[in-house]
């Protein structure tokens, strides 16, 4: 399971304040904590103030890129902000002869988003999150999600982006407002996995529990169900109690952890919550 760590997001009060005050120490601490917890990518989002997003994302990039060796995921809908931050980061990686991957979060089926961001995916040979939505809005059924992802894959293939670098996001919606949505996402991942086995599958996990009590319990449980359906990546908080333990247990039970060695090692190291 590939973890994209979500905590460095300017819409969070502490991160937004740190960004406004240029408090690199707090931002770096968040990055290091998430890397130590098992993140494969550190997501950075500076979109709280669209008027300053380019400047803020560049600052955030400079603050984080030298603090951890974990690859970065650039989270923005703005081609301008992404282009500026990716230019800074790519020059940093070149100066270090660093082979780290880059991820962009995200594209969707809207023509303006595809036209603005796909060229950056090509230029920087980036991994990319593809949201199952377009001009018509959010999907509601499994079939709708499959159709929207299929259209994005066609557009990506036309400019030479291979499916193996794409992470399809079925766009989780809260079950508090529509109880069919969790089932629709599970079904969509299964159908997409059968149709596009080379594609990666990711989700913004916490959306499912919005408006409900004990959100962490719902998030962890849903993640395990999604892993069983074929999910192999998630945008989440790896420092959340119980989250990484649930992932390790699910990988062991799904046959994704040879001889259960990662699970056993984590237990020996006291990293499982029930230990």
Residue ranges of domains in the chain: 2-238, 241-275
Residue 147's contacts (CB-CB under 8 Å, 6 or more residues apart) are none
Residue closest to 181 by CA, chosen among 132, 135, 214: 132
What is the pTM (predicted TM-score) of this model? 0.96
Helix, strand, coil shares of the chain, percent, nearest 5, are 55, 15, 30
CA distance 12 to 14: 6
Residue closest to 105 by CA, chosen among 117, 116, 96: 117
2-238 CATH choice from 3.20.20.20, 3.40.50.720, 3.60.70.12, 3.90.226.10: 3.20.20.20
Which ranges of 98-237 would DSSP assign to H, the alpha helix?
111-123, 142-158, 181-195, 215-229
Mark residue 178 as left, alpha or beta (left: phi above 0; alpha: psi -120 to 50; beta: remaining): beta
Q: What is the pLDDT along the chain (275 residues), one digit of tens a residue?
A: 999 999 999 999 999 999 999 999 999 999 999 999 999 999 999 999 999 999 999 999 999 999 999 999 999 999 999 999 999 999 999 998 888 999 999 999 999 999 999 999 999 999 999 999 999 999 999 999 999 999 999 999 999 999 999 999 999 999 999 999 999 999 999 999 999 999 999 999 999 999 999 999 999 999 999 999 999 999 999 999 999 999 999 999 999 999 999 999 999 999 998 64
């Amino acid at each position: 399971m590939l973890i994209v760590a979500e905590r460095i997001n300017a819409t969070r009060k502490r991160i937004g304040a740190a960004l406004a005050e240029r408090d690199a120490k707090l931002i770096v601490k968040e990055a290091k904590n998430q890397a130590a917890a098992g993140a494969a990518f550190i997501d950075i989002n500076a979109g709280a103030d669209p008027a300053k997003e380019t400047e803020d994302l560049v600052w955030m990039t400079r603050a984080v890129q030298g603090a951890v060796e974990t690859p970065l995921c650039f989270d923005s809908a703005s081609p301008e902000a992404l282009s500026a931050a990716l230019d800074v980061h790519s020059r940093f990686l070149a100066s270090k002869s660093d082979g780290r991957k880059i991820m962009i979060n995200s594209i969707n089926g809207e023509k303006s988003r595809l036209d603005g961001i796909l060229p950056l995916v090509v230029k920087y040979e980036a991994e990319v999150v593809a949201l199952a939505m377009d001009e018509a809005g959010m999907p509601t059924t499994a079939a709708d999600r499959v159709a929207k992802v299929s259209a994005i894959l066609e557009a990506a293939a036309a400019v030479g982006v291979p499916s193996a670098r794409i992470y399809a996001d079925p766009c989780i919606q809260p079950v508090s407002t529509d109880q069919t949505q969790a089932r629709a996402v599970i079904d969509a991942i299964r159908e997409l996995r059968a149709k596009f086995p080379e594609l990666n599958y990711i989700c913004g996990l916490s959306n499912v529990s919005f408006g409900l009590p004990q959100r962490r319990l719902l998030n962890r449980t849903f993640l395990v169900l999604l892993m069983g359906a074929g999910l192999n990546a998630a945008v989440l908080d790896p420092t959340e109690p119980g989250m990484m333990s649930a992932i390790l247990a699910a990988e062991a039970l799904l046959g994704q952890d040879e001889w259960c060695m990662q699970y056993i090692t984590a237990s020996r190291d006291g990293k499982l919550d029930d230990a």
